[in-house]
Amino acid sequence: MEDLLVSSWCKDRAVPETYIFPAEERPGKLIDVPVGNNIPVVDLGVHDQTQIIQQIFEASQHFGFFQVINHGVPNHLMDDAMSVFKEFHAMSGKDKTIECSKDPNKSCSVYTGSQNYAKERFHLWKDGLLHLCNPQEKYIQFWPEKPTRYREVVGPYTTEVRKLGFRILEFISQGLGISPGYFSSGLAENPRLLVNHYPPCPDPSLTLGQGKHRDPSIINILLQSEVYGLQVFKDEEWIGVKPIPYAFVINIGYPLQIISNGKLKGAEHRVVTNSNLARTTASFFINPLDETIIEPAKTLVDASNPVLYRSLLYKNFLIKYVAASGNTQVLEEALSSSTE
């Protein structure tokens, strides 16, 4: 594995053929899509909760994406976390592999591409460090011990980001009009941290850091860093998400689209590479437990709002998600209530 990591070889080679996306999926000149202020920015520091609920609800309906500022996670913790994430990916491939091999059950791993390198159509210009987070006492022993501050920093960081996640889920529940405690059962019990690393790429017009996808999580809380690369697909167009210092980017995942019975949008997005700078980001995915049922909230279904999605255990949702391999239409059909 360590030799496959993009960061292990990218400085010495041109873009290998297996990393070149077919013309219609390449970013091409679209790397330069407008990096607008189009994605809503929600200030969580204001007193007017009704305003926050409304803004989050509208952003989740129309974009499936928004950024949050004044969110309560201390700036120094965000800085420290980003530093150790960058330090981790700067280590040798061998060290990274050793640091991610402590758990025989593989709750912590380092990999390249989509976690399924052998089967992917085209390889992604990306390495990832992925580990479980909750309960922290159970999983922290399997997290990297190098960089030496990893556990000391990422422990409090994930605790704070998880709190922020619950706060946002409460706002979303209120916006939807479902019980404020809706997500306090199994739906948010199994968060995982994915530290993405996109090394500089000699020809960003041919490659992607991540292909067009929707996240298989309830929501993602993304620490994006100062380097641009994330794009959202809205109204058949790509929009760049502008890096804002100390903001988090929040996006709605497919399971929340199901729970909301289609009211909220699991937005499609991708990551472009760039030729000068490495980009490191951290996704904190709020995920359900395997045995938790994902289904439209009962109170959102009535005669005029017929049920759109079938009820599934989260682990079975994941099987369908993986089988659809990024094809939205195939996934929609597999999850639709009318195919039951």
Pairing label, strands 65-69, 41-43: parallel
Q: Name the residue type at position 299.
A: T
Alpha-carbon gap, residue 41 to 244, rounded angstroms: 10
Q: Which does 257 bind (CB under 5 to 8 A by kind): Ni ion, ligand OGA, none?
A: none
Binding mask 56-95 for Ni ion (x = CB under 5 A): ----------------------------------------
Cα gap 188→292, rounded to integer Å? 10
Six token digits for residue 224: 């994006």
Q: Which of 241, 249, 235 is nearest to 270 (CA)?
A: 241
131, β-bridge pairs:
108, 193
Residue numbers 183-222 binding ligand OGA by CB under 6 A: 194, 196, 210, 215, 222
| Cα angle, residue 148 at apex, residues 112 and 109 outer, rounded to 5° | 25
Q: From the list Ni ion, ligand OGA, none, pick the one residue 281 interacts with, judged by a Cβ distance below 5 to 8 Å according to partner type.
A: ligand OGA
Q: Which residues of 27-48 are buried (b: 16+ CB within 10 A; e: fewer)?
A: beeebeeeeeeebbebebeeee
- Footprint of ligand OGA on residues 281-320 (CB under 6 A)? 281, 283
Task: Judge whether 169 and 219 are in contact, CB under 8 Å.
Answer: yes
Nearest approach in angstroms of CB 305 to ligand OGA is 29
Q: Which of 132, 219, 230, 252 binds ligand OGA (CB under 6 A)?
A: 230
Distance of CA 333 to the CA centre of its chain: 23
| Residue 101 token pair | 């091999």
Q: Which of residues 15-44 bind ligand OGA (CB under 6 A)?
A: none
Peptide bond before 135: cis, by omega within 30 degrees of 0?
A: yes
Q: Out of Ni ion, ligand OGA, none, which partner does residue 261 contact, by CB within 5 to 8 A per kind?
A: none
Looking at residue 302, the DSSP 8-state letter turns out to be B
Output the smallest distance, CB 124 to Ni ion, in A: 12
Q: Which two tokens stand for residue 137?
A: 């006492």
Cα of first residue to Cα of last residue in the chain, in angstroms, is 40
CB of residue 179 to Ni ion, shortest distance in Å: 28
Report how many residues bind ligand OGA under the rule CB under 6 A.
12
Nearest-CB residue for Ni ion:
215
Smallest gap from Cβ 253 to ligand OGA, in A, equals 9
Find the DSSP H helices in 277-336: 314-323, 328-335
Stretch that binds Ni ion, among 3-11, 24-32, 182-190, 209-217 (CB under 5 A): 209-217
Q: Segment contacting Ni ion (CB under 5 A): 41-49, 190-198, 208-216, 317-325?
A: 208-216
Find the binding residues for Ni ion in span 210-269 (CB under 5 A).
215
Tell me the closest approach of the beta carbon of residue 237 to ligand OGA, in angstroms.
18
Q: How far is the CB of 285 from ligand OGA (least distance, A)?
A: 8
Using CB under 5 A, list all residues that contact Ni ion: 215
Using CB under 6 A, list all residues that contact ligand OGA: 194, 196, 210, 215, 222, 224, 229-230, 269, 271, 281, 283
